[in-house]
């Protein structure tokens, strides 16, 4: 619990998928080390990488508006807010639990085989990270005058689709398709061309028929609509919002390719049918395909198509006008659970659901504690100047970090600890498994200590070089090499160079250890796991402090100092309190009791109405005065008054 709390507090500073992977890694490794099971300790690298990946999915969801809903003072929005706070917590923790359980229960043979398609996906995603933004830049420069960036103007990106990860999901499907062809040594490749050509021809014919019959405009009118209320008044201009100034429920690239969309969609359908009939999707690649395909199914069915039905209430969207990647995450979870149930991993699927239930309830509880904390001396409640002044320092505390991040992290940790304890008693030990594909262990260590650390710590450079209050930079934008005035690089360039040297060093040590074990590496799996855990823990704790140091204030103490203290506690616990190895007595493997899920559902409803009642009784219809202002329903709803506009900064 402390491990995930530390990582969750740090995640708040680094953000998104890469940031969310760090707490998942720490928690999963801590569980393996404290389980007392030697078979789990021998899988520490696998617990690390799959625990990280599981928690990483949730980092793509917009969750701050859900918190803001609960503090809005608008009764329908508050009730809805508590429900979606649970939903966000459920999705985040369920995939985190699934990744941790997958590392524990899957056979080593199948687990290590899975690294083959996983590496194909990671390679495609890396190429995307390196080159895709340049492709989008080239495209928009060739077709329009307005540019875009990755933050405030990302809606101008022609590939922007409700701020979702549809491109990475498509790339994952592409990767497993290429992997399947490679595994089959490109057998039946001729049928790939046949299916693709037939699908493209059929799609082109359908588009031409619809166009010739005059049905195409009607179809587009039914499927496409601007994401906003065209009858509402733009506060900035006093006039109604212009339809062509708003984003739609489809990406711009589809409209740019309009005359070609028939054969393109037909080609995609043809390729799908080919792989449906001839694809083998072995080595676990079917898991990736199932997750990505279900992600698309839920995203298209929900935010994209059902939004046309619910357009008068902001669409079938969780936090409009913010992103809808929750639908991809939900689909990913459904695809994962279905795959696990089909492949003898029912216990892991049960862990996923139980983790989601506890995590969602914990997130609700921590948000409620935060609301209670900010009631004291709140000007929205009392007008007495003395009371307001007496509690001013209390109110200045970073309550969001304390409860919604580090506090939620504690409950997220509990959401993994309890189900994994339940799982430990329902799975037989796997000692004596052949240690096949050792390279997967080394790959996992390298992925964590070099890949995951880099993508997070490189974000520090922008903080170091940013102009701070007072007009100074902590680190210059460019620096010359010592003794060589002709060699000058940016701060980012120097960071990348040093990290490249660290990466080369790591690879060299991994190779040396394989040839002859290094004396510094303990012989026991417990010792190896402890060393790995502490190396990563203190790397991110120090990296997090470096990020905050350039603009440090007393408000940061509740974040950085508490993280540091908790890291010291965890260090002691990991080194001094890990239990000795013990025999595991497997009990009867029984499905997750349905009454647990029903009890959890009842608790969600109880929390929702109890927390709403308390908050509304204190603040009434007014906001509590902290955080952003977000409304989901009514004439003042965000999607009505502040929709995403192409000419304004993205919210």
Question: Per-residue DSSP letters for 65-89?
Answer: HHHHHHTSS-HHHHHHHHHHHHHHH
Of 620, 613, 612, which Cα lies nearest the Cα of 380? Answer: 620
For residue 357, the model assigns a pLDDT of 96
How far is residue 400 from each of residues 56, 369, 370, 609, 627, measured CA to CA in Å? 21, 10, 7, 22, 9
* pLDDT confidence tier of residue 145, bands split at 50, 70 and 90: very low
How far is residue 120 from each of residues 41, 126, 545, measured CA to CA in Å? 27, 10, 34
pLDDT digits (tens, 9 = 90+) for 24-69: 999 999 999 999 999 999 999 999 999 999 999 998 898 889 999 9
Please enumerate in sequence order all residues whose Cβ is within 8 A of that of 493, keeping only pairs 6 or more positions apart, or say none.
Answer: none
Task: Name the CA radius of gyration of the chain, rounded.
Answer: 26
pLDDT digits (tens, 9 = 90+) for 370-408: 999 999 888 888 888 999 899 988 888 888 888 989 999
Q: Do 408 and 399 contact (CB within 8 A), yes or no?
A: no
CA–CA dist 337, 331 (Å, integer)? 10
Q: Is the pLDDT of residue 626 over 60?
A: yes
Q: Is the pLDDT of residue 1 over 90?
A: yes
CA–CA dist 648, 236 (Å, integer)? 11
Mean pLDDT, rounded, for 251-258: 91
For residue 19, the model assigns a pLDDT of 93
For residue 483, the model assigns a pLDDT of 87
Q: Is the pLDDT of residue 251 over 50?
A: yes
For residue 147, the model assigns a pLDDT of 55
pLDDT mean across residues, the chain = 91
pLDDT digits (tens, 9 = 90+) for 334-357: 999 999 999 999 999 999 999 999
> What are the tokens at 105?
């229960």
Q: What is the DSSP string of 255-310?
A: HHTGGGHHHHHHHHHHHHHHHHHH---TTTHHHHHHHHHHHHHHHIIIIIIIHHHT
Mean pLDDT, rounded, for 465-476: 85
For residue 333, the model assigns a pLDDT of 97
Count of alpha carbons within 13 Å of 19, Cβ hemisphere only?
Answer: 21
Q: Which residue has the higher pLDDT, 147 or 42?
A: 42
Q: Do 352 and 597 contact (CB within 8 A), yes or no?
A: no
Q: Do 405 and 6 contact (CB within 8 A), yes or no?
A: no
For residue 396, the model assigns a pLDDT of 84
- Phi-psi bin for 571: left (phi > 0), alpha (psi -120 to 50), beta? alpha
For residue 63, the model assigns a pLDDT of 87
Dihedral angle sign, alpha carbons of residues 384, 386, 391, 395: positive
- DSSP designation for 231: T
* pLDDT confidence tier of residue 367, bands split at 50, 70 and 90: very high
* pLDDT confidence tier of residue 432, bands split at 50, 70 and 90: confident
Output b/e per residue, 538-561; b: 16+ Cβ within 10 A: ebbbebbbebbebeeeeebebbbe
**Residue showing tokens 């309550």:** 399
Q: Which DSSP helix (H) or strand (E) runs through 485?
A: strand 484-490
CA–CA dist 557, 259 (Å, integer)? 57
Q: Do 26 and 533 contact (CB within 8 A), yes or no?
A: yes
For residue 206, the model assigns a pLDDT of 96
Please enumerate in sequence order all residues whose Cβ is within 8 A of that of 19, keeping only pairs 6 or more positions apart, or say none.
Answer: 10, 11, 12, 13, 59, 456
Mean pLDDT, rounded, for 71-87: 95
Q: Is the pLDDT of residue 627 over 80?
A: no
For residue 146, the model assigns a pLDDT of 52
Dihedral angle sign, alpha carbons of residues 59, 62, 65, 70: negative
ω before 77 within 30° of 0 (cis)?
A: no
* pLDDT confidence tier of residue 158, bands split at 50, 70 and 90: confident
Q: Which residue has the higher pLDDT, 588 or 333?
A: 333
Q: Is 246 helix (H, G, I), strand (E, B) or coil?
A: strand
> What are the tokens at 480?
């010359």
pLDDT digits (tens, 9 = 90+) for 408-431: 999 999 999 999 999 998 888 877
Q: What is the DSSP string of 439-452?
A: HHHHHHHHIIIIII
How far is residue 648 from each of residues 63, 245, 253, 348, 642, measured CA to CA in Å? 22, 9, 20, 45, 10
Q: Percentage of the chain with pLDDT > 90? A: 72
Q: Do 48 and 99 contact (CB within 8 A), yes or no?
A: no
Q: Is the pLDDT of residue 233 over 90?
A: no
What end-to-end distance do the CA atoms of the chain give, in Å?
33
Of 60, 54, 62, which Cα lies nearest the Cα of 28? Answer: 54
Angle 412-414-530 from CA coordinates, rounded to 5°? 95
How far is residue 146 from each of residues 157, 252, 256, 325, 580, measured CA to CA in Å? 10, 14, 15, 26, 63
Q: Is the pLDDT of residue 586 over 60?
A: no
pLDDT digits (tens, 9 = 90+) for 493-533: 999 999 999 999 999 999 999 999 999 999 999 999 999 99
For residue 154, the model assigns a pLDDT of 84
Mean pLDDT, rounded, for 461-485: 88
Q: Do 258 and 306 contact (CB within 8 A), yes or no?
A: no
């Amino acid at each position: 619990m402390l491990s995930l709390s530390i990582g969750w507090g740090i995640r708040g500073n680094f953000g998104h998928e890469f940031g969310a992977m760090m707490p998942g890694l720490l928690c999963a490794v801590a569980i393996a080390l404290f389980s007392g099971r030697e078979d789990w300790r021998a899988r520490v690298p696998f617990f690390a990488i799959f625990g990280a990946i599981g928690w990483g999915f949730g980092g793509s969801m917009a969750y701050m508006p859900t918190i803001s809903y609960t503090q809005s003072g608008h009764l329908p929005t508050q009730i809805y807010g508590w429900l979606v706070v649970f939903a966000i917590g459920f999705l985040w923790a369920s995939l985190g639990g699934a990744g941790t359980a997958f590392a524990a229960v899957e056979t080593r043979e199948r687990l290590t085989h899975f690294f083959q398609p996983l590496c194909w996906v990671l390679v495609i995603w890396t190429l995307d990270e390196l080159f895709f933004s340049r492709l989008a830049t080239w495209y928009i420069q060739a077709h329009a005058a307005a540019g875009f960036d990755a933050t405030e103007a990302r809606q101008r990106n022609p590939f922007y689709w409700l701020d979702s990860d549809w491109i990475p999901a498509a790339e994952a499907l592409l990767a497993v398709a290429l992997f399947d062809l490679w595994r089959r040594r490109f057998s039946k490749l001729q049928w790939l061309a046949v299916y693709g050509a037939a699908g493209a021809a059929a799609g082109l014919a359908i588009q031409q028929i619809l166009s010739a019959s005059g049905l195409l405009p009607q179809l587009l009118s039914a499927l496409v609509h601007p994401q906003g209320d065209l009858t509402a008044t733009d506060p900035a201009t006093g006039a109604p919002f212009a339809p062509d100034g708003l984003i739609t429920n489809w990406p711009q690239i589809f409209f740019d390719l309009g005359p070609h969309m028939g054969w393109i969609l037909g080609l995609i359908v043809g390729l799908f049918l080919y792989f449906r009939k001839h694809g083998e999707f072995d080595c676990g690649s079917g898991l990736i395909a199932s997750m990505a395909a279900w992600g698309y199914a839920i995203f298209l069915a929900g935010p994209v198509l059902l939004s046309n039905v619910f357009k008068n209430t902001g669409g079938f969207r969780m936090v409009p006008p913010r992103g809808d990647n929750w639908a991809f995450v939900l689909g990913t979870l459904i695809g994962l659970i279905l795959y696990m149930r089909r492949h003898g991993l029912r216990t892991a699927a049960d862990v996923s659901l139980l983790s989601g239930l506890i995590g969602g309830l914990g997130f609700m509880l921590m948000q409620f504690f935060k609301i209670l904390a900010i009631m004291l001396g709140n000007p929205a409640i009392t007008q007495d100047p003395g009371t307001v002044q007496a509690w001013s320092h209390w109110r200045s505390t970073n309550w969001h970090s304390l409860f919604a991040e580090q506090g939620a992290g504690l409950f997220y940790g509990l959401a993994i600890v309890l189900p994994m304890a339940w799982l430990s008693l329902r799975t037989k030990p796997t000692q004596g498994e052949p240690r096949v594909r050792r390279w997967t262990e080394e790959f996992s260590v390298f992925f964590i200590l070099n890949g995951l650390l880099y993508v997070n710590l490189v974000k520090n450079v922008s903080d170091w070089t940013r102009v701070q209050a007072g007009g100074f930079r902590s680190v210059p934008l460019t620096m010359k090499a010592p003794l060589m005035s002709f060699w000058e690089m940016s701060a980012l360039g120097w960071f990348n160079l040093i990290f490249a040297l660290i990466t080369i060093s790591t690879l060299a040590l991994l190779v040396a250890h394989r040839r002859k074990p290094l004396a510094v590496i303990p012989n026991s799996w417990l010792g190896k796991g402890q060393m790995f855990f502490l190396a990563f823990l203190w790397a991110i704790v120090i990296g997090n402090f470096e990020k905050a140091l350039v603009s440090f204030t007393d408000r940061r103490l509740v974040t950085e100092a508490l993280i540091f203290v908790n890291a010291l506690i965890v260090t002691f616990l990991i080194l001094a309190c890990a239990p000795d190895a013990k025999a595991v007595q497997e009990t009867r493997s029984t499905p997750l009791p349905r009454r647990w899920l029903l009890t959890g559902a009842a608790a969600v409803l109880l929390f929702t109405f109890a927390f709403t009642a308390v908050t509304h009784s204190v603040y009434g219809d007014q906001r509590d005065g902290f955080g952003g202002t977000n409304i989901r329903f009514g004439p003042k709803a965000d999607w009505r008054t502040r929709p995403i506009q192409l000419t304004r900064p993205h919210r």
